[in-house]
Every structure is written in structure tokens, then in C-alpha cells.
Amino acid sequence: MESRRPTLGARLAHPFRKTEQKRMAHRRQEIEAFVRHLVVEVEAAEAAGMSAPQAIADHFNAKGVTTRKGRRWTGTTVAKFLSSSGAKRYRSGGEAGRMVKPKGNPDKPSNALEKAHLRRISEITIGHYDRAAEDYCDGTRNHDVSQNYDALLEAIEGEPPYAILDLGCGPGRDLRYFRSLGHDATGLDGSMELVTMARRYSGCDVLHQNFLAMNLPVNHFDGIFANASLFHVPSQELPRVLAELVESLKPRGVLFCSNPRGNNEEGVSGDRYSCFFDLTTWRDFVTAAGFMEVRHYYRPSGLPRYKQLWLATVLRKG
């Protein structure tokens, strides 16, 4: 039987559906970031001895923390938030994924991930990017990450051109940029679909490697650009992965990272394994690995903190 060709209306509607899906996904991200921000504020208030909803509302209002609609908090609205599924999910005692303890130590032993589980996590996350490669390429092609490019390149010492590893290079947007400046750029990604795209689009060498099983040259790179990638590494594996990155950098080499931030939750979220660290926990991890912090900032710039979903850090090999 011949397949039916889509009608003109269906063909025209398709890009609008994709636009609407992206808009809704962005809205969900904003809401989740807002909830995580509020949970941090609630737990800070509770740690200071404020447990009643009205006391927490007064704390919010004194700090200028508003509702998503920009309104002042009341005891009733705080109580409603605390009983919401979103708040329960991100509370330290919640059940949505493991929580990471201070100093970068994951809960043990009950939450330790076995090798088979780690393999499954990789398969799930890489499979997501293999399936969504075309959409991911379309959706990120025009993202302005010039602030992140500058943060890495300005921190590298010595004269260019630099040897740069794009860790989690995706379809090659950033590789192509670094190559256009004359740098010796190498990509790395776990998704074969994205590796193929990156090689074709950037003209650079691209390694097909899993973050949990990398084989990198020693003392080779001046800088590593890990833009929206390392948050997929489970916290129990992160010290080892960071140590491998330290080893692959030249003395005083630079690692740039940008990751979605949160209240130290981790687990499978939307067909990907993700970790949402706060600044303190992330600092514990990178310091223990041998990095010194050069600077950090939140993105996108110019927005209220609860809308700044990303934590960017510039780190130097000690």
C-alpha cells in the first residue's frame, strides 16, 4: 500500500509544532530552575530556625524573593508551595534521584551505582542524543555562547594558537568557531550521530568516546571547553573524570565548564542522566581534583538569579 503524502496543512504545521515544543521545553526548564531556587531558600530559612510558613514568607519578602508572578509571599502561598510535587521532588529528603553530600561525596553505600547501572546510564543518555541529533543541532545552532568562548580563551596563558578539546562537542558548532580562529581544536562526544555531524561541519578531528571511558593524551591541551556536558557524569564518577581532564591539560591549562545548576539532585531526567550541583558542591569536586577557580558566573546574563539556569566556571590546573 502506498503511504499517503502529508497534506499541505500538515507540512506547514510541522515547523510550528517544533517551535511550540521548544517553547514549552524552555518554559519547563524555567519553572524547574525557579522551584530549585526556592527550595534552596526554604532550606536556608529552615537551617536558620524558621519552620512556620509565615516565617518563611517573611524571610522571602525581606530578601526580595517573589513568586513567579512577581508577588509577595504569604504564609498560605508558602504552605502551598511546600506541599507541591515540585518542592517535594527537589527537597533534600525527596525521592527524585540521589543527593550529593558536601565535599563531593555521594551517598553511600545504598546509592552507589554498580558498573552495570553505569553502563545503562550511558546507554540511556547517549541514546537520547543519537535519536535527537538533528533536532539538537537545529535547536542549538544559533545559541550565543560567545561569553563562554571568551572566558576560556582569555584565561589560557601563552601565545595562540592553542590546543583545545571540546568535551561533548555535539554537532560541532564550537569546534568550528575555535578552528576559525586558528586553534588546533579536537572534539569528543559519546554519540556517534553527533560525532559524524561534528566531523562534517567543523572539519576537525572528533573522538568517539564515552565520558566514563575516555582515553586522552597526557599534558596535551591548553584548554578544555566543557559546555553543557559534564553534568551528565554521575557524581560518584566525577572525581575520576576530572582527574583525567587534569592529566590531559598542560601545566596551568584551563578547563571551562557550564552546567545547569540546582540543589545537588541527580538522576535520570528526560531520557538523560543529569546532575544539578550548586556552586559549593561543584567547587568541592573541582578543588579536590586539583583545579583552582579563576572565576565563575551565571547565565544568561542580565536576568534574575532564578532565571539564570547555568553555572559557568573557569578553572586552572594547579
CA distance 51 to 55: 7
When pLDDT is averaged across residues 167-184 and rounded to a whole number, the result is 98
Q: Are residues 152 and 15 in the same domain?
A: no
Q: What is the pLDDT of residues 191-205, one digit of tens each?
A: 999 999 999 999 999
When pLDDT is averaged across residues 61-83 and rounded to a whole number, the result is 84
Q: 162: domain range? A: 115-317
Q: Are residues 157 and 89 in the same domain?
A: no
Backbone angles phi and psi of 205, in degrees to 5: -70, 135
Q: Are residues 145 and 278 in the same domain?
A: yes
Q: Are residues 185 and 278 in the same domain?
A: yes
Q: Which CATH number is 227's domain given?
A: 3.40.50.150
Cβ contact 277:264 at 8 Å: yes
Question: Is 67 a member of any domain?
Answer: yes
Q: Are residues 33 and 157 in the same domain?
A: no
Q: Are residues 17 and 127 in the same domain?
A: no
Question: Is 1 a member of any domain?
Answer: no
Question: Is 145 a member of any domain?
Answer: yes
Q: What is the pLDDT of residues 80-89, one digit of tens each?
A: 888 887 787 7
Question: Is 158 a member of any domain?
Answer: yes
Question: Is 298 a member of any domain?
Answer: yes
**pLDDT for residue 98:** 52
Question: Is 2 a member of any domain?
Answer: no
pTM (predicted TM-score): 0.71
Cβ contact 166:174 at 8 Å: yes
- Residue 35: pLDDT band (50, 70, 90) is confident
Question: Is 29 a member of any domain?
Answer: yes
Question: Is 83 a member of any domain?
Answer: yes
Our count of domains for the chain comes to 2
Q: Are residues 126 and 249 in the same domain?
A: yes
Provide DSSP, 267-295. Answer: EE-SSSEEEE--HHHHHHHHHHHTEEEEE
Q: Please give the grid coordinates belonging to residue 276.
A: 544539578
Q: Are residues 84 and 133 in the same domain?
A: no
Question: Which of 61, 96, 131 is a domain's end point?
Answer: 96
When pLDDT is averaged across residues 93-118 and rounded to a whole number, the result is 56
Q: Please give the grid coordinates belonging to residue 186.
A: 579536537
Q: Tell me the β-bridge partners of 185.
A: 164
∠ CA 96-102-108 to the nearest 5 degrees? 60
| Residue 51: partners with Cβ closer than 8 Å, 6 or more residues away | none
Backbone angles phi and psi of 311, in degrees to 5: -105, 120
When pLDDT is averaged across residues 11-25 and rounded to a whole number, the result is 63
Q: Are residues 276 and 249 in the same domain?
A: yes
**pLDDT for residue 60:** 84
Q: Specify the amino acid at residue 136.
A: Y
Q: Are residues 83 and 200 in the same domain?
A: no
Q: Are residues 63 and 187 in the same domain?
A: no
Question: Which of 33, 68, 96 is a domain's end point?
Answer: 96
Q: What is the pLDDT of residues 140-175, one digit of tens each?
A: 888 999 999 999 999 999 999 999 999 999 999 999
**pLDDT for residue 47:** 63
**pLDDT for residue 100:** 55
Q: Are residues 92 and 228 in the same domain?
A: no
- Residue 62: pLDDT band (50, 70, 90) is confident
| E strands present in 104-240 | 105-106, 163-167, 184-189, 205-208, 221-227
Alpha helices (H) along 181-237 = 192-202
